[in-house]
């Protein structure tokens, strides 16, 4: 009778628009950094769920999270980023590593 064919169903895993929304925090190294956009102020709100780092960044509205993250990292490592810590009861993250900063 009929030939039996194994039907191959290629499983294409396409994550539907799942851009990474959680990033690695440059301060504590945990992957708990989130970026939100405030449409009113046109600012990106950067928050870390671990060390409670909080920063605001003015960004063009066309920016995506990854772009903001890149900019955020640049500023952070250049020491130009203004940030604070929310609920900073434990001030463990107070290590000022003064690496060779050429200015
Ligand atoms: Zn952190």
What does the domain layout of the chain look like in residue ranges?
22-85
Whole-structure pTM over 0.85, yes or no?
no
- 28 CB-near residues (< 8 Å, 6+ apart): 48, 50, 51, 53, 93
* Cα dist from 79 to 6, 62, 69, 96, whole Å: 60, 25, 15, 11
| 35 C-alpha to ligand 1 centroid (Å) | 12
Q: What is the CATH number of domain 22-85?
A: 2.20.25.190
Each residue of 63-94: pLDDT tens digit?
Answer: 788 999 999 999 999 999 999 999 755 555 55
| 15 C-alpha to ligand 1 centroid (Å) | 27
Confidence tier at 42 by pLDDT (50, 70, 90): confident
| 99 C-alpha to ligand 1 centroid (Å) | 19
| 92 C-alpha to ligand 1 centroid (Å) | 11
């Amino acid at each position: 009778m009929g030939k039996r064919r194994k039907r191959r169903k290629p499983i294409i895993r396409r994550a539907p628009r799942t851009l990474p929304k959680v990033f690695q925090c440059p301060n504590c190294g945990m992957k708990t950094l989130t970026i939100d956009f405030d449409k009113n102020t046109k600012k990106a709100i950067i928050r870390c769920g671990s060390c409670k780092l909080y920063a605001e960044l003015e960004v063009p509205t066309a920016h995506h999270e990854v772009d903001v993250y890149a900019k955020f990292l640049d500023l952070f490592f250049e020491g130009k980023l203004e940030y604070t810590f929310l609920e900073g009861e434990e001030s463990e993250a107070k290590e000022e590593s003064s690496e060779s900063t050429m200015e």
